[in-house]
Amino acid sequence: LNRIGNLLLPNDNYCKFEDWLMPILDAMLKEQREDGVLWTPSRMIRRLGKEINHEESIYYWCYKNDIPVYCPSITDGSIGDMLYFHTFKSGVDDDANLGGQTHIVLDIVRDIRSMNNESVTCKCWRRTGAIILGGGLPKHHICNANLMRNGADFAVFLNTAQEFDGSDSGAKPDEAVSWGKIKMEARPVKVHGEATLLFPLLVARTFAKIGRW
């Protein structure tokens, strides 16, 4: 067995993941070299959603509905490992080659621009909201995107982190208000709990109840 966070899985799943992902990376590099495709983390995730082609995958549905998924830390984990291994397969043998077309290039700046622009140019009644499951980097990036428009109008934080250690994950909404990431007049909520347990219950009593999902 192996482990991802608090989840156990068969160790050969990593091998199966590598066997599935490497041909996709080969194709991505070919498109980059021959067609000038500019890859970003969100564009890569969209491609993976297409390749997954399974209705139980949230990334499949994001691909089908053209919903961007941003992941500033996409290299932190098994995908990062595969991208590293792929550099050897694609011919990168020293740091001098890293500026060329010998490996897949992911433009993270284009993604941060796109994500922040979604906040700044929001046309949905000119208001934004955030439902943030967990903490860390995703929580900060979502809040920071709303800073660009002087704060979100609605916010729900759902995680198990506490504020005593000074972490961003544990920070309550009033910390985001102090930065202008949530509007002063907003009524944000912090729910202390485990997201995979509580979020389905929240959906059942809100979006699903009023027939939007």
* Cα–Cα distance measured from residue 50 to residue 190, given in angstroms and rounded to the nearest whole number: 34
Report strand pairing: 129-133 vs 7-9. unpaired
Q: Is 125 exposed, middle or buried (0-12, 13-18, 19+ CB in 10 A)?
A: exposed
Extended beta strands in 71-153, E state = 129-133
Which residues are identified as catalytic?
A: 181
Evaluated on CA atoms 173, 180, 117, 115, the torsion sign reads negative
CB-based burial of residue 17 (10 Å sphere; 0-12 exposed, 13-18 middle, 19+ buried)? Answer: middle
Distance of CA 25 to the CA centre of its chain: 19
What's the CA angle centered on 132, arms 67 and 192, to 5 degrees? 155
**Per the structure block, which two tokens stand in for 112?**
């941060």
